[in-house]
Structure 1
């Protein structure tokens, strides 16, 4: 029977020797006193080599940081993808967690959010949208701050811009009249509630798969009611230059619903002819062969330099366009304001069953200069090849 021994009398365990072969002569060298990465010298061939030891490896590098999400974090919303970007913010496709409703959330960019004026303007867009509940206008479903972001939540519309839709589908004049009549009805609804869009253009109108239009982006909207403060509290021209009414260029604060009618005329002309009515331009019938002459009257009225000479309301435009589309009994536009002798204007608005407009001589609008560029002028003098009209 073995006698117990005292643990203190036991010799200390010897460390395992670290051995590495010399890469030159293959002699086994003791590298126990070296750490990994140090240079040792072979005692046989005197060649230096780097020590590699499993028991003395440097600590592993820290795990790489997970890439940050490209989308902002919004409490109450699941952000799926970016679907649009504008001058003031970005638009994301989201799901509202409370009711699982798909929505479009417009977020003010951090740069804009740092400027109080832009934050106020962003709030004005929400204030304008909150007053509007119309099938032809994108609806507001929420607004606020979340995750450090200022946002507006709107109904999510599956569609494409009117500009892109027209480019892809090459619609007939009647099809355009139907779509533009919807836009005019939406404008009439907004104007009746003292909301002016101020930036109407084909990019701010969506067309759905069932050919319904939705007006969006009221970022420059203004309120114009008696006793109400204008939402655009600036005399600086705001909007997209090619679609902006002359009075809006001069004093944005004083522009009313008739500025939207001017923008509507620019949009209609562009969609019909593929060109902007800049400088001296021909009436649509001189560009598009077979086009109903009533288009000339409608567009010329909208593009009048004097607001008082334009149609009285967007509802008048809607009725005129419905007549062109053949979907309703036409209501003639109200008589235009009589001009002084020497100024242009002989196109008359014609309802169904009346004679077409006749060109006597050259019809032109005076050319006005604004910031060094000519304002639109309607003329039949310009020779341009006609585009065939799809029927």
Structure 2
């Protein structure tokens, strides 16, 4: 068990080894709690942990450490394969690097498996996991095809892994149900543990969901069958604890079958219940009590919650909670603020939504008492009958939410009770969707400016609804705005060549202030990025103005950002490829060279703070777009379109600097980058590209902290934005 250095103060930041131990689950409960509390208050350590979690070499190291563990936890073995694997793990731990190419390493560390395991002839690999391999095999005597699940020889030496493997065999052996994968045999051959199961020809629910959500009635039928299977398991004393789409197989005739009881618990077998097991599984499908590691509370209703997540995903195409990393996801699950399915898909019937959300109640007592009860309510809905299960009222749920977030005191609870009563009253009214307001209202602008002049914080965009004031600085002819089903304002650039600047405040009025916002990246488009900008200022140029501003740029959607580069044959030695910016090339716009797309595959994208000069691409060329300075830090995970994840953004502006924090990543443009000489030098490439452009040759960009601020959208990108505030700061900030 890893322990912090005794010489280090208790409140000091952990070193890399301790972060890795936390990531791999090798800390004791008190140590893990202490470190988790530290991560809540230390953005630098949280950022380091995220980088460690996403780094390829560190991820491999973590997997190896999970496999080998501490030396005291490994049963002595002389198996050559295990010794090679352990040696590789120790080498990685010491060097922190890959010993060779990824493919070569995987081949070196994979254990060889003979063509025969006990009475079974192995035919092909069906799947691989961290603990073993599943083969298609045939029983030699019975000629029966099976799915043969095996443990790596090294994993068989781990007592906890071996125990879970045997529990899985014992659990499935108790069950004989048409919607549960059957087990035929288990045993050991030449040190190789195996489990022979029913071979299901078809696909996993995970693979099916990759093609999109289900019809509502089909989703109800699927989860009804799963609920009956899980209810049957519960009646036989088995709690699954890892229900998720990848553990549901769909046969060719459409029959769903629950599989993989590797984390199952047999009720009454106290020896199996461990703290480490309680937090194992897949966070997106865990019940709140399981995500919090409360082992003794994980029971049949925890499986009901997981069935609710599966129902939610079959209806909407995504689980209720999605996040950049496991830690953030566990926190979201524990907080339990779920967006109703009807806000993601408008045709979800109210009663089916009620069933889904009752499964997903934060409190176990508010969920269905059993999986069988869930199955019966789905039966009633499919037959057009009234439901038995009802959710707690809105007032009761609000009070419980407040209690979860530790709002205490009779005065606060009294206020909450009044607010909750108001919510119940308002809930009876029909929702109102208003048309877009007059964005550039002079009266609203004067009101915002008065508050800023008085040093008051102003709200530019609330939790829902349109911004108080807005105006498109660029992209006015190629945008779409509206209110999302959850009531949040959203904007989109509809043209693949246009950068959109939606100004939310024309002048900050002060030179020291902080901007806070939450942004949800909905569509990636070309270039993929979105962000906030500050310090906007225009400079005269014919036939269009030059816009200079400082902006955050991040991407949480696109897996393939688009960059356009000139064809090599058309360069003629005039302009190097590095001059490409934003999806169009300055030299090409001047000389008429055509562009070709270059699409690098990636699942993470750099976060940047950039000073940019730009003209509206919809106006006649030659158009201008270039970065004058940039600060880069960290990367964000590409989660795909409509992922539903909100990102906190903060920008602090002073007379000499711009500092930004995005998803834990901090970037600064200081006096070195923002002084007039540096910005003028940054525009040097523009002067070289456009020698006859009078405005460009005389451009002297300056940092203007009081300039306008707002939302930035790259071509074809879409984003939702809420909770945008501007807070004036004291002079000594």
What TM-score comes out, normalization by structure 1 length? 0.67
Tell me which of 255, 264, 270 is aligned to 1:229. Answer: 270
TM-superposed deviation, 1:318: 0.9
Q: Aligned partners of 1:314, 1:361: CA distance in 2, in Å?
A: 34
Task: Tell me the residue number matched to 2:238.
Answer: 195
TM-superposed deviation, 1:300: 1.6
- Structure 1 residues 204 and 360: alpha-carbon distance in aligned structure 2, compared to 1, 3 A threshold: farther
Tell me the secondary structure at the aligned position of residue 150 of structure 1.
Answer: strand
Q: Aligned partners of 1:72, 1:148: CA distance in 2, in Å?
A: 15
- Structure 1 residues 239 and 169: alpha-carbon distance in aligned structure 2, compared to 1, 3 A threshold: closer
Structure 1 residue 160 and structure 2 residue 216: aligned?
no
Task: Tell me the residue number matched to 1:208.
Answer: 251
Structure 1 residue 332 and structure 2 residue 388: aligned?
yes
Q: Aligned partners of 1:87, 1:319: CA distance in 2, in Å?
A: 37
> Counterparts in 2 of 1:75-224, with a 5 A limit?
75-168=118-211, 170-224=213-267
Tell me which of 282, 307, 321 is aligned to 1:240. Answer: 282
Tell me which of 365, 370, 376 is aligned to 1:308. Answer: 365
User: In 1, are the aligned partners of 2:122 and 2:135 still within 8 Å (CA)?
Assistant: yes
User: In 1, are the aligned partners of 2:132 and 2:149 still within 8 Å (CA)?
Assistant: yes
User: In 2, are the aligned partners of 1:205 and 1:214 still within 8 Å (CA)?
Assistant: yes
User: In 2, are the aligned partners of 1:89 and 1:107 still within 8 Å (CA)?
Assistant: yes
> Counterparts in 2 of 1:38-57, with a 5 A limit?
none
User: In 2, are the aligned partners of 1:238 and 1:252 still within 8 Å (CA)?
Assistant: no
TM-superposed deviation, 1:334: 6.4
Larger helix share, 1 or 2: 2
Structure 1 residue 322 and structure 2 residue 363: aligned?
no
Tell me which of 286, 294, 304 is aligned to 2:343. Answer: 286
Tell me the secondary structure at the aligned position of residue 137 of structure 2.
Answer: strand
> Counterparts in 2 of 1:333-348, with a 5 A limit?
333=389, 339=396, 342-343=399-400
Offset from partner CA, 1:143-171 (integer Å, 9 cap, x none): 01013200111011112111212333753
Task: Tell me the residue number matched to 1:271.
Answer: 314
Question: How well do the aligned residues superpose, as a CA RMSD in angstroms?
Answer: 3.1
Aligned length in residues: 289
- Structure 1 residues 275 and 360: alpha-carbon distance in aligned structure 2, compared to 1, 3 A threshold: farther
Unaligned runs of 5+ in 2: 1-110, 322-331, 403-425, 431-484, 491-521, 523-641, 643-733
Tell me the secondary structure at the aligned position of residue 132 of structure 1.
Answer: coil
Q: Aligned partners of 1:176, 1:383: CA distance in 2, in Å?
A: 30
Q: Aligned partners of 1:160, 1:116: CA distance in 2, in Å?
A: 32
Structure 1 residue 295 and structure 2 residue 352: aligned?
yes
User: In 2, are the aligned partners of 1:185 and 1:318 still within 8 Å (CA)?
Assistant: yes
TM-superposed deviation, 1:75: 2.1
User: In 2, are the aligned partners of 1:173 and 1:272 still within 8 Å (CA)?
Assistant: yes
Tell me the secondary structure at the aligned position of residue 206 of structure 1.
Answer: strand
User: In 2, are the aligned partners of 1:319 and 1:330 still within 8 Å (CA)?
Assistant: no
Q: Aligned partners of 2:239, 2:262: CA distance in 1, in Å?
A: 11
Larger strand share, 1 or 2: 2
Q: Aligned partners of 1:186, 1:76: CA distance in 2, in Å?
A: 30
User: In 2, are the aligned partners of 1:88 and 1:112 still within 8 Å (CA)?
Assistant: yes
Q: Aligned partners of 2:274, 2:256: CA distance in 1, in Å?
A: 29
Q: Aligned partners of 1:335, 1:303: CA distance in 2, in Å?
A: 10
User: In 2, are the aligned partners of 1:132 and 1:139 still within 8 Å (CA)?
Assistant: yes
- Structure 1 residues 383 and 212: alpha-carbon distance in aligned structure 2, compared to 1, 3 A threshold: farther
